[in-house]
Copies of this chain bind each other. A is one copy, B any other.
Amino acid sequence: MRNKETITDWFKNLQDEICLSLEKLDGASKFKEDNWTRQEGGGGRSRVILNGGLIEKGGVNFSAVHGTLPEKIQKALGFSESTFYATGVSIVLHPKNPWVPIIHMNVRYFETESINNNQSTYWFGGGIDLTPHYVDSSSGQFIHQSLKRVCDDASPDYYPRFKKWADDYFYIKHRNETRGVGGIFYDHLNEKKEGLSFAQLWSFQQNVGQSFIPIYTHYANQSRDKAYTDENLHWQKMRRGRYVEFNLVWDRGTKFGLDTNGRTESILMSMPPQANWEYDHQPAEGTAEAESLKWLKKDLNWIDNA
């Protein structure tokens, strides 16, 4: 039933579908592809889109890597010497228009097999979250409604659990701010832990992957033609600075990748084209910028309070 080749092919196909849809949505630019191989085993297909009609800089990456589990991770997981296989799709899109949000998705599959005793384990992990430069009470409604539907199809406790997990994960501790309006985050999902069959979990994972385009299309079309000022562009660059801070200081995936000799250019495709920092920048009371900061909190109910 569980077959890593099938999962890998599905992810690869998801990358293709998402890239085609994004090129249509963007209307002006196309993805460029870099195929890379990893010395220790496997490789990936990194795709980047630049200076488009909608997307200023975006990456949609597929990878499938394998090898011997690094000793550090073996120990952290309490495993004996093991091989691993990891595959998934990662996306970060930085839009041109400051009224369109930054979006991120990652869906991944991981399995290990012990070299001595053939014991194996696997899990799914992933998440989608939205980072509007400008936030108001309604910014999180559509993404949370969409993700709740996907979660409810799998288990009634998934949405509340994974929504809270995202609030806790996408949190910029040193700023006391969430990265945006959140979404869902999950990890280590397998039959043993979840009481769902492999088929049910795999179906959930596929539904998360398929939800990306409808969610982003909604937000892109809602704001892509909205006029913006230099002040809006300035604020966008300040918020991109926060995105950089989260990804480089707190994001476990980024840290793990950079620390274990991952492909730097693929990992750092999440970086914005430009980010600004100003000492102790505080937007003036009553502005849309000041209002936005008020919504960067955990535990908000975006669905009902919009």
Contact = CB atoms under 8 A, between A and B. Distances in A.
Nearest to A50: B279
A259 B174 CA distance: 7
Interface string A224-253: 000000000000010001001100110000
A276 B279 contact: no
A104 interface: no
B249 A258 contact: yes
A59 interface: yes
A271 B265 CA distance: 21
Interface of A: 34, 46, 48, 50, 57, 59, 173-175, 237, 241, 244-245, 248-249, 255, 258-259, 261-262, 264-265, 267-269, 271-280
Nearest to A277: B271
Copies in the complex: 2
11 contacts: A50-B279, A174-B262, A174-B264, A244-B244, A244-B248, A245-B248, A248-B248, A272-B277, A273-B276, A275-B275, A275-B276
A268 B241 CA distance: 11
A245 B261 CA distance: 15
B274 A275 contact: yes
Given A174-B264, A249-B249, A274-B277, 7 more contacts: A48-B279, A50-B279, A57-B279, A174-B258, A174-B267, A244-B248, A274-B275
